[in-house]
Amino acid sequence: MADVSPLARPFPDLPEVAGCTRGTATAGYKNWTRADVTLLAFAPGTSVAGVTTRSKCPSPEVELCRRHLPWGSARGLVVNAGNSNAFTGLKGAEACARQVAEAANLLGCEPAEVFAASTGVIGVPLPQEKAIAGVQAAHAALGTASWLDVTRAIGTTDTFPKAAAREAVIDGTTVRLVGFIKGSGMIAPDMATMLGFTVTDAAIDPALLQALLEAANGRTFSCITVDGDTSTSDTVLAFATGAAGNRPLAAVGDAGADAFAAALEDLCRELAQLVVRDGEGASRFIEIRVSGAVSDASAHRVAMSIANSPLVKTAIAGGDANWGRVVMAVGKAGEPAERDLLSIRFGGIEVAASGMVVDGYDEAPVTAHLQGPEIDIAVDLGLGDGRATVWTSDLTHGYISINADYRS
């Protein structure tokens, strides 16, 4: 087992969310005794929204979520850990469909109201009998699993359980939002898979929930990277039970929609950052802010070019104030940039401006900043108003050990 990440956060106190019950069970997808099947049951009338991987080779679970999302209604969520069921052909698709059908049968709903996600080994079809027995046992256990239990049950090689909560007031009614997520711990031959789920008791129309989730995703989950590799199974789902009894939100302009949107985005940001904090081999949490780009989208691409650069990530791992590698990563992004307008700050300290190192540059305070666990890199391109912020981890021997030294 990997040690707990040095960037870990304690598991928070999480409120109950009315209209959602939880159960876990052991299907035994691997040779272990831990819970590896999770079932969440939702009250009738629960809205659902989701975003899934852009991979052209998605898992059958991702394809099932994409088929079910347009209906907008959810009664159940099944999550399998230890087997991603990805790239398993018709056999894997059938196993996924049968497990979801069994969940629908147990919950007394339509299969289209059940969502599924799996994470773990790729290329091995989900074993049907274990999957069905597992979801039956998880159903029998509904009401017995804590948020911590389900967060642990969806994890694979995560080194700590990751969850968060927020509140919002909608037209006088307080609503709760809870999110839990699994991140990018993995062993060969697993993919760095991110599965994230949020549950709220707010009443909200699924189309609006989808719009707010997509907006939040664009500023949170889409702004993190550990190694630039995109999983075949990445899935984020948002469920809203409506049990809080607020006047249902249906449009962006409705009273309280802003507050809910802000709480959802804030929740997603914390979950996204927790994934980075558990990035494989991570020893430093890095925030990269790019401003002065020709557009926000351009700023995002420049920021991701920096965040995904092995040379930048290894320099940070070495505590090296190597702003030249940041210049390189800006230059290779393919976005509009002018060398002689570029400025770069580490930990708020300007190191380069107008195409060269600043006069009287003193590396000592910058190096001191780089010794800490939280690194701040700011780049201004000096061209326009476009800006973006992304988060990543450093690239260490730990990453190589996790991904090269262990065999499947």
By CB under 8 A, the residues from 3 to 62 that bind its own copies are 53-58
Instruction: Indicate which residue of 88, 119, 193, 220 is catalytic.
Output: 193
Identify which of residues 8 and 187 has a Cβ nearer to its own copies in the complex: 187
Out of 35, 79, 238, 317, the only residue in the binding site for its own copies (CB under 8 A) is: 317
Out of 101, 294, 311, 389, the only residue in the binding site for its own copies (CB under 8 A) is: 311
Is residue 156 close enough to count as binding its own copies by CB under 8 A? no
Characterize the bridge pairing of strands 224-225 and 386-393. parallel
Out of 6, 12, 15, 355, the only residue in the binding site for its own copies (CB under 8 A) is: 355
Is residue 337 close enough to count as binding its own copies by CB under 8 A? yes
**Are 113 and 150 within 8 A, CB to CB?**
no
Return the number of other C-beta atoms located less than 10 Å from residue 108's C-beta. Answer: 10
Task: Please return the burial class of 385, using the count of CB atoms within 10 Å of its CB with bins 0-12, 13-18 and 19+.
Answer: exposed
Is residue 158 close enough to count as binding its own copies by CB under 8 A? no
Applying CB under 8 A, the span of 6-14, 74-82, 159-167, 336-344 interacting with its own copies comes to: 336-344
Q: What are phi and psi of 288, to 5 degrees?
A: -120, 115
Out of 127, 189, 365, 384, the only residue in the binding site for its own copies (CB under 8 A) is: 189
Identify which of residues 374 and 405 has a Cβ nearer to its own copies in the complex: 405
Is residue 340 close enough to count as binding its own copies by CB under 8 A? yes
Instruction: Report in angstroms the alpha-carbon separations of 214 from 118, 153, 199, 217, 289.
Output: 21, 26, 16, 5, 21
Residue list 244-303, contact with its own copies (CB under 8 A): none
Task: Please return the burial class of 152, using the count of CB atoms within 10 Å of its CB with bins 0-12, 13-18 and 19+.
Answer: buried
Rounded CA-CA distance 57/363 in Å is 46
Out of 99, 136, 231, 273, the only residue in the binding site for its own copies (CB under 8 A) is: 231
Indicate if 21 belongs to the active site.
Answer: no
Q: How many residues does the chain have?
A: 408
Is residue 309 close enough to count as binding its own copies by CB under 8 A? yes
Structure tokens belonging to residue 316: 């940070």
Structure tokens belonging to residue 156: 């694979």
Which residue numbers are catalytic?
A: 193
